[in-house]
Amino acid sequence: MKLYAVIMAGGVGSRFWPNSRMEKPKQLLKIFNDNTMIQDTVDRLSKLVDDENIFVITNTVQKPFIVDQLKNIPKKNIIAEPFGKNTAVCIGLASVIIESFDKDAVTITLPADHLISPKSVFHKTIKNAANYAYKNGGLVTIGIPPTRPETGYGYIQIGESSSEQDIYKVKTFAEKPNVGTAHRFLESGDFLWNSGIFIWRVDSILEEIRQLMPDLDDGLTSIRKHIGKSTFDSQLSQVYGQLKNISIDYGIMEKSRNVYIIRGEFNWSDVGSWEEVYNLSKKDENGNVLKGDTYVEESFDNYISNDDKFTAVIGVENLIVINTPDALLICDRHSSQNVKHVVDYLKMNKKSDLL
Amino acid sequence: MKLYAVIMAGGVGSRFWPNSRMEKPKQLLKIFNDNTMIQDTVDRLSKLVDDENIFVITNTVQKPFIVDQLKNIPKKNIIAEPFGKNTAVCIGLASVIIESFDKDAVTITLPADHLISPKSVFHKTIKNAANYAYKNGGLVTIGIPPTRPETGYGYIQIGESSSEQDIYKVKTFAEKPNVGTAHRFLESGDFLWNSGIFIWRVDSILEEIRQLMPDLDDGLTSIRKHIGKSTFDSQLSQVYGQLKNISIDYGIMEKSRNVYIIRGEFNWSDVGSWEEVYNLSKKDENGNVLKGDTYVEESFDNYISNDDKFTAVIGVENLIVINTPDALLICDRHSSQNVKHVVDYLKMNKKSDLL
């Protein structure tokens, strides 16, 4: 069994404005340490997947930055989609490419911008899932045991046990719940967070696409014969223009009868907002996270990231302050999901230099 | 009777960092409109004092900016002290200079950075005070009827009435009070805010200095004979080195028996903090004061001044945000008196480019 990774790195990450921009979304930023999030994602795969078996699916804008950040990954493995068409299409494309040289490949499909620790538990989970997927041909997703009634994540309800420890049939997928439902999910004990990490054999996922997404299957078929040829890019553009924007959850996972879930007993976050970055960061004795040249007086529980210039804060609490060379965000910590409204405003007002 | 003005413009204004700097303190900034505060101070004197009778006492750092901002004032009237030596020395210097060409001059001495309105009431008060000072030779100060138990101002207790309406003998000067005392002052009705605006004949103030501040009188005597000569600056430096740093309140007003107060029934503020600037500024329907390119969402009662770059605020209240090209301040509105601590910090840490 040979393991491959498919890193999905197409997101625009408007919730991390002003650090994130069209060409530098969250996965390309150094948020928690001196590595960017996609660099951490690749590091996390080391000793599990060989560098030459790691593939990144991104877009033309981000591709040069990713090539630059991931020097150990073969450049040909970093593939730009002509348009973003959601995860089902992205996964289909990666699968036919990998299938073209390894029909027995087992792939780990995962987003580029999640925070996961410790690595050892992550590896153990992936290995168990990969063994199961290799042997049984199932589609395995990782579910994270919830630690709070989070309304920002999708949930998956576990069903009957499989033959393997910690691997279950999936009973239902549930969209992001309201608070009451999230509490019920948490208390029930049989709902796990949908991590968006999938493990399967390429032939398994391609067979599911064949059955459940025949339009996508047709598209992939017409791409297949151009793989490795000079006609690939133009064929991709032509086919992508006609494909539907559908998530793998909606297109396959919620419909297939061959879906399994493994408990991921590691710390996991999709790092969906500046508030979440604050929650996941190490605080000083006043509950502050401070980056850059900052004077702080009587201020508590703030996240202050300052790439630009000397910043003084006095008497403030629960703020997110992001100071970049060309834009400044000051946001109540608990309102940080509204940062995307700023991006909407900038688009509406054609301030494209700040996007 | 010929009226002269002595505008005291030596303050460093650390409470308005990061807009105010060593070379650009509050009086040289555009805080409320398109004029700087010293320009507004000069405008307020128009039709009361001729431009050639307006004198500005400042320091060598600020002088070129003031010359630039006050193009209608003769350059020779803008005088740089070699060292800041507080108001008694500043006033003594201005007085001997004006006395040198007009022994009957009546001077209005006033700070460069106060906010006063309406102009008509200010003029009426000054004229009454000047007439009284001209006829009776008294030292007249303007007291502002307090509108709140302010602890940031000095107070003056009025004594018996003079022969003129609204002009009283001064009973006592009181330093900045604590909250309880400020309430008593407000309720008593006979304490007025010390505006720091003085009206007197130059011969009157120089006679008081002769009697009450003989050291300063000696200094002024040795300056007098160099006025208008090439030796003036070097003589000034020599004499100033030996003079004591004493305020006019402490050196003269609190000791003289010849001190009067006139009620100034105009709106007055010494604009002592960013909070005060917020209080004195016109707010939008959400209580915000917004300057510069700003996106605002669910934010109330903030003062946001943005000279630098696009700024987005979300879900915040009661903040002072001052965004300049090389420094950023974010301060709770009610903590804005602590802004001077940032200046102390910058001095301690030798960040002189931000001072």
* Interface contact A310-B341, CB threshold 8 A: no
Per residue in A162-190, pLDDT tens? 887 789 999 999 999 999 999 999 999 99
When pLDDT is averaged across residues B233-246 and rounded to a whole number, the result is 94
Query: Could you give the dihedral angle defined by the CA atoms of residues B340, B343, B344 and B345, in that order, rounded to the nearest 10 degrees?
Result: 120
Report d(CA A300, CA A288) in Å as an integer: 6
Question: What is the pLDDT confidence band of residue B286, given thresholds at 50, 70 and 90?
Answer: very high
Asked if B314 is an interface residue toward chain A (Cβ–Cβ < 8 A), one would say: yes
Bridge partner list, B300:
B317
Bridge partner list, A58:
A80
Whether B250 shows a pLDDT value over 80: the answer reads: yes
Per residue in A141-165, pLDDT tens? 999 999 999 998 999 999 998 887 7
Per residue in B76-90, pLDDT tens? 999 999 999 999 999
| Predicted local confidence at residue B177, as pLDDT | 95
Report d(CA B331, CA B314) in Å as an integer: 15
Whether A315 shows a pLDDT value over 80: the answer reads: yes
* Interface contact B328-A314, CB threshold 8 A: no
When pLDDT is averaged across residues A300-324 and rounded to a whole number, the result is 95
| Predicted local confidence at residue A163, as pLDDT | 81
When pLDDT is averaged across residues A279-291 and rounded to a whole number, the result is 96
Whether A56 shows a pLDDT value over 80: the answer reads: yes
Question: Using a CB-CB distance cutoff of 8 angstroms, which residues of chain A are in contact with residue B331?
Answer: 312-316
Asked if A329 is an interface residue toward chain B (Cβ–Cβ < 8 A), one would say: yes
Which alpha helices (H) appear in B166-291, and where do they start and end? 179-188, 202-212, 214-224, 232-240, 248, 274-280
Measured between CA atoms, the residue of chain A closest to residue B328 is: A311
Report d(CA B235, CA B226) in Å as an integer: 7
- Encoded amino acid at A159, one letter: G
**Which of B306, B321, B338 lies at the smallest CB-CB distance from A315?**
B338
Whether B24 shows a pLDDT value over 90: the answer reads: no
Q: And the tokens for A89?
A: 């299409």
Whether A102 shows a pLDDT value over 80: the answer reads: yes
Q: And the tokens for A300?
A: 């508590």
* Interface contact B345-A310, CB threshold 8 A: no
Mutation for A interface: B330, B351, B353, most A CBs within 10 A: B330
Per residue in A179-225, pLDDT tens? 999 999 999 999 999 999 999 999 999 999 999 999 999 999 999 99
Q: Domains of chain B, with CATH numbers?
A: 3-269 (3.90.550.10), 274-354 (no CATH)
Residue B49 — φ and ψ, nearest 5°? -130, 130
What is chain A's mean pLDDT, rounded?
A: 95
Per residue in B135-175, pLDDT tens? 999 999 999 999 999 998 999 999 998 888 789 999 999 99
Per residue in A224-264, pLDDT tens? 999 999 999 999 999 999 999 999 999 999 999 999 999 99
Measured between CA atoms, the residue of chain B closest to residue A318 is: B316
Residue B319 — φ and ψ, nearest 5°? -105, 150
**Which of B297, B298, B330 lies at the smallest CB-CB distance from A316?**
B330
Asked if B351 is an interface residue toward chain A (Cβ–Cβ < 8 A), one would say: yes
Whether B13 shows a pLDDT value over 80: the answer reads: no
Report d(CA A143, CA A157) in Å as an integer: 9
Measured between CA atoms, the residue of chain A closest to residue B353 is: A310
| Predicted local confidence at residue A282, as pLDDT | 95
What is chain B's mean pLDDT, rounded?
A: 95
| Predicted local confidence at residue A273, as pLDDT | 92
